[in-house]
Amino acid sequence: QAKYLAQIILVGAQVVGRAFMRALRQELAASRAAADARGRSERPQSAAASRITGISLQEAQQILNVSNLSPEEIQKNYDHLFKVNDKSVGGSFYLQSKVVRAKERLDEELRIQAKDEKEKGWKAET
């Protein structure tokens, strides 16, 4: 009787293991598809900046609570969030670092936009 119980446990473990692996593969495929879709929706330079900084433009805007890329608004929200999340006032170093990364990403996007506008100006002159 112990032999049958061991076989039932073994078969059950195999079934659960297969189901787990199938779910893991599906999750990886969905994650890759989402990453590919996100990469296609951004301009090539913007997508590269997202990969380098490790944060997407949309995520950076959410973190700093900005809807448009206004340097003044970005700096104001950054200063506030950086100060609020300072460890010396009981804040979180993790959140503070996310705020820094978000600002870096938005600054990079502003630089990309300025470069694009400059190139458009040169093309219009020629």
pLDDT, tens digit (0-9, with 9 covering 90-100), for 45-104: 666 666 666 788 889 999 999 988 899 999 999 999 999 999 899 999 999 999 999 999
51 in the same domain as 30: no
91 in the same domain as 67: yes
34 in the same domain as 61: no
48 in the same domain as 29: no
Give Rg (Cα) of the chain. Answer: 24
Q: Does the structure show a pLDDT above 80 at 39?
A: no
Number of helices (H), then strands (E), belonging to the chain: the values are 5, 0
Residues 6+ apart with CB under 8 A from 84: 91
The domain of 111 spans 42-125
Q: Does the structure show a pLDDT above 80 at 36?
A: no
Q: Does the structure show a pLDDT above 80 at 122?
A: no
121 in the same domain as 101: yes
70 in the same domain as 98: yes
80 in the same domain as 31: no
110 in the same domain as 62: yes
> Looking at this protein, which amino acid is placed at residue 104?
E
Residue 1: the pLDDT is 81
| Residue matched to tokens 């893991």 | 24
Tell me the whole-structure pTM to 2 decimals: 0.59
